[in-house]
Amino acid sequence: MRSFDKKVLAKYIFIAIAIAIAISFLIISNQMAGDMAKDERQKMELWADALQRAADNNGVDELDLTLKILSSNKTIPAILCDEDNNVLMHANLDIPSDDSLKYLADQVIDLKKANIPIVIESPNFKQYVYYGDSSTLKRLQYYPFIQIGVMTFFICVSFLALLSTKNAEQNKLWVGLSKETAHQLGTPISSMLAWVEYLKTKTSDVSTLNEMEKDVMRLQVVADRFSKIGSTPSPETREVGEEMMQSVAYLEKRISKKVKFEFDIPGDPLYAKISTSLFSWVIENLTKNAVDAMEGQGRIVFKLSQKNGMVCIDITDSGKGLPKAMFKSVFSPGFTTKERGWGLGLSLAKRIIEDYHKGKIYVKSSEIGVGTTFRIELKREVI
């Protein structure tokens, strides 16, 4: 399993554990709330029974016990009504000083919805006890949601802090490694350039040496790219079509002849702010990915256009295509469909375009067995 797949799996496991904990809290709290609601129902049934006994007035001793039961309810809001919903008695309600009748009428409606009323029946009358949930039961019902919210908040903060720290460490490592690589390449590249110039003075056939010089200069461009990682480049206004053609020209001679390159560039030049060495890195990465997707044979079309003040670069291959689910994940570090590879090419391309050029790069379209189109959008400069 690749590192990218492991990271995705770890995220899913983390989310699944969090969901399982949240569901557990809800189930346990619902069970506790249900048990407490049953207990309060039993208390109110006893309270209603005490009301009936008080009405029947069965002796002084029993009346004394009945009054104790009635006075024991200090938390559950309750209203005693007759058959016409006239309020006869209420308990544990904060009655306002003004318009108390309307308040009690509204409370009767609310309590009817809260719980099934308890019916008190006798030969002479029929009454109803409407009751609600105690403040303790209400808090118990809301508590798991508050707890889950707090837990989710702390988990998110911890996860983001860990992710931020990890990304910062990785970025620092990559920047240091890149700059050290550029530094180490500097000396041998300079030496190789000197040797090429020396060999030119010793032979009349310089065509081979010229190609060798191009490859050495290419190494110098690569070293320059690595040296720019971690720093803020200063893009300059460039003609996008020309920059794209120069980037492809080097690869075109070094890629299989079975790969055909086609260009669709408008007659009027289009300009954008570009860091040449970094921009060419993006074009080359996309071109190499296209060649890999076509397995070394096929057609790559480079199209340049403008839309809504943006310069659009479309690179279309005739390769195996991508499922829609991969349109975003292909830019994730470590993602690769090849047997060999680090999965960093498209991730670097995205960072270069978005962070250094303030543009966009995305999969415009793809069809399995037909091909894929990547699009780069850069802000157009008017000259």
Q: How many CB atoms lie within 10 A of CB 116?
A: 9
By C-alpha distance, which of 279, 208, 286, 276 is closest to 236? 276
CA distances 176 to 153, 179, 182, 273, 343, Å, are 34, 5, 10, 27, 20
Q: Are 296 and 256 in contact (CB under 8 A)?
A: yes
Instruction: Dihedral sign for Cα 289, 291, 293, 298, please.
Output: positive
Instruction: Dihedral sign for Cα 316, 317, 323, 328, please.
Output: negative
By C-alpha distance, which of 264, 321, 313 is closest to 294? 321
Distance between CA atoms of 336 and 339, rounded to whole angstroms? 8
More confident residue, 304 or 52: 304
Task: Please state the φ and ψ torsions of residue 122, each to the nearest 5 degrees.
Answer: -150, 170
Mean pLDDT computed over every residue of the chain? 81
- Within 13 A of 305's CA, how many CA atoms are on the CB side? 9
pLDDT at 1: 46
Q: Are 134 and 91 in contact (CB under 8 A)?
A: no
More confident residue, 25 or 326: 326
3-state SS class at 53: helix
User: What is the residue-wise DSSP string for 130-160?
Assistant: EE---HHHHHHHHHHHHHHHHHHHHHHHHHH
Distance between CA atoms of 280 and 221, rounded to whole angstroms? 10
| pLDDT surpasses 90 at 59 | no
Q: How many CB atoms lie within 10 A of CB 298?
A: 18
Residues in Cβ contact with 357 at an 8 Å cutoff, skipping those fewer than 6 apart: 235, 272, 273, 274, 275, 278, 279, 378
Q: How many CB atoms lie within 10 A of CB 176?
A: 12
Per-residue pLDDT band for 281 (boundaries 50, 70, 90) equals confident
More confident residue, 314 or 102: 314
Q: Are 159 and 152 in contact (CB under 8 A)?
A: no
By C-alpha distance, which of 156, 161, 217 is closest to 185? 217
The 8 Å CB, 24+ separation contacts for 156-165 are: 159/14
Six-digit token string for 135 = 């403040």
pLDDT at 95: 82
pLDDT at 138: 79
| pLDDT surpasses 50 at 187 | yes
Q: Which of 8-17, 72-81, 101-110, 280-289 has the lowest mean pLDDT?
A: 8-17
Name, of 80-84, 140-144, 151-155, 203-207, the range with top average pLDDT: 80-84
| pLDDT surpasses 70 at 225 | no
Distance between CA atoms of 264 and 262, rounded to whole angstroms? 7
Q: Are 130 and 104 in contact (CB under 8 A)?
A: no
By C-alpha distance, which of 115, 104, 108, 120 is closest to 54? 120
pLDDT at 196: 78
Q: Are 271 and 381 in contact (CB under 8 A)?
A: yes
Dmax over CA atoms of the chain, in Å, equals 133
Per-residue pLDDT band for 378 (boundaries 50, 70, 90) equals very high
Distance between CA atoms of 215 and 247, rounded to whole angstroms? 14
